[in-house]
Amino acid sequence: MGEEIKHSQFSHADFKIFQKKLAEETAILSECFSHQTFQYQQQTIGAEIEAWLIDEQFRPASISQDFIKTVNNPLVFQELAQFNVELNSSAVTLTGSAFSKLHGEFKNNWKQCIAAAKTLNASFVMTGILPSVQNQDLNLKNISPMQRFFAINEQILKLRDGAPIILDIHGDNDSLYLEHGDVMLESAATSLQLHLQVNPNTAHHFYNICKIVSAPMVAIAANSPYLFGKQLWDETRIPLFEQSVSVGASDYSRRVTFGIRYAKNSLFECFEANNDRYPLLLPHHQNIDPQQLSHLRLHNGTIWRWNRPLIGVNEKAEKHLRIEHRAISAGPSIIDMIANMAFFYGLVEALSLEQSLIENQIPFETADANFYRSAKSSLNAKVVWNNHSVSVRQLILEKLLPMAKKGLDHLDIDVEESQFYLNIIKQRVKQCQNGAIWQKKTTEKNQYDMVQLTQSYLENQLSEKPVHQWKI
């Protein structure tokens, strides 16, 4: 959830100063877009995996500070809750053996995390929502001791005039309604976040493509069907995150959103909207060169679009554009997540090569509806593609997988590599078994015992097999 700040209490003057600096930096960014001064040579990718620490009873273990000291890895970071951590990758050029490089790095670091957790009598688990988490685990006693997190909690509650956060999710089998007094509900939603550095000339088109492919991505990668023992959406993480940090009812005041339209001419439109429409959460101002865009980037970091544009700035104040795809769950296994990456990057590349812009064929309202249908029903969803209603499985198998292969070929990804990872997606879809569907089938045998489900899930994850090979 970003870098640390120095304090969590803010005055009215802090807000005024920060808003002034934000406006100044937004104007600087506008000039960058107008004159296309961004750095870009070739597509670069990276990823973040959010994970859980659990104890010997398969329940959340609030030991992240000790864990991070033990693992001693610069790619492992603190998260909102003391039972969550984030595992990052290095940046990799999107060509050749990019995915096997990421696979090797994540696998090595994952095993290091497993070993570090074991020394603390704990386990390291990658999943969208931990089945065994309970509402009482999500309280400020378990918040990470960082000023940034305390400030976000305080400011969101202020914007809500102290009103509790309402969680109201309706699934086909169960419904869940509760009121919560802080933002710790958000810590129950853990993701695989994919980064793509993009050419500034076509960045807005790539951004729109990422929105459109969010539906099939959620369908293949759904991995959070349970929350507090209730069987809700296949990707319950989507409504959970949207509602857990909401400051109001409208799209402009929600902090987690699919958006309200495509980008028309430039990704600057998103940052302009940030300045105009989203209340400040962290008005932590600094005396720093405005060319670093530090206030603009801090504010952008508190608006969690499912596809979020990012500005990278180096020490020389050279800037680049990235798109962060945040719509998919962590897990079920390292190999599954690398396969998800291959499918995503290949599909985005292929759609960018189409002569007819995909956003002209699939209206925003259709992409939006496809996304939430897929979050609710994953591989059993029906979506609309080019004005035709189709099962998402049929769409992926007959159209999108061949497109992803075409995209990876265009990127000069090694042929054996693209075939290997895309075949994992193919088998997952053909067998109709992603993480969410496996969990639902498994609970039919253990009478909805969430601790037993967590144990079985962890054992399968440690096997390193892709989820379509997990036995029920």
Estimate the share of the chain in helix, then strand, then coil, as percent rounded to the nearest 5: 50, 15, 35
In the predicted model, what is the mean pLDDT of residues 41-59?
A: 96
CB atoms within 10 A of CB 57: 11
> pLDDT for 159-168, tens place per residue?
888 899 999 9
pLDDT at residue 5 is higher than 90 = no
Query: What local confidence, expressed as pLDDT, does residue 7 receive?
Result: 66
Query: What local confidence, expressed as pLDDT, does residue 42 receive?
Result: 87
Tokens 């050029």 belong to 93
Q: What rounded mean pLDDT belongs to the chain? A: 95
Query: What local confidence, expressed as pLDDT, does residue 254 receive?
Result: 79
Domains and CATH numbers, the chain: 12-458 (3.30.590.20)
pLDDT at residue 445 is higher than 90 = no
pLDDT at residue 252 is higher than 70 = no
Determine what percent of the chain is predicted with pLDDT higher than 90.
Answer: 91
Token couple for 181: 């007094």
Residue 310 belongs to what H/E stretch?
strand 307-313
DSSP 3-state of 423 = helix
Comparing 253-267, 286-300, 426-440, the range with the smallest average pLDDT is 253-267
Query: Are the beta carbons of 19 and 299 closer than 8 angstroms?
Result: no
pLDDT at residue 427 is higher than 80 = yes
In the predicted model, what is the mean pLDDT of residues 415-442?
A: 98
Query: Is 0.85 topped by the overall pTM?
Result: yes
> For 350-380, b where at least 16 C-beta lie within 10 A, e where not — what string?
bbbeeeeebbeebebebbbebbbbbbbbbbb
Residue 182 belongs to what H/E stretch?
none
In the predicted model, what is the mean pLDDT of residues 174-200?
A: 97
Token couple for 275: 């300045």
> pLDDT for 291-347, tens place per residue?
999 999 999 999 999 999 999 999 899 999 999 999 999 999 999 999 999 999 999
Give alpha helix (H) positions in 64-202. 64-71, 98-119, 147-159
Phi and psi of 68, rounded to 5°? -65, -35
In the predicted model, what is the mean pLDDT of residues 80-93?
A: 97
Query: What local confidence, expressed as pLDDT, does residue 9 receive?
Result: 81
Residues whose CB falls within 8 Å of the CB of residue 13, separated by 6 or more in sequence, listed in order: none
> pLDDT for 377-390, tens place per residue?
999 999 999 999 99
Residue 339 belongs to what H/E stretch?
helix 334-353
Residues whose CB falls within 8 Å of the CB of residue 388, separated by 6 or more in sequence, listed in order: none
Tokens 């992603």 belong to 434
In the predicted model, what is the mean pLDDT of residues 49-53?
A: 98
Token couple for 175: 């419904």
In the predicted model, what is the mean pLDDT of residues 141-158?
A: 92
In the predicted model, what is the mean pLDDT of residues 418-433?
A: 98
Distance CA 258, CA 292 (A): 28
pLDDT band at 1 (very low <50, low <70, confident <90, very high): very low
pLDDT band at 249 (very low <50, low <70, confident <90, very high): low
Determine what percent of the chain is predicted with pLDDT higher than 70.
Answer: 97
DSSP 3-state of 467 = helix
Query: What local confidence, expressed as pLDDT, does residue 2 receive?
Result: 53
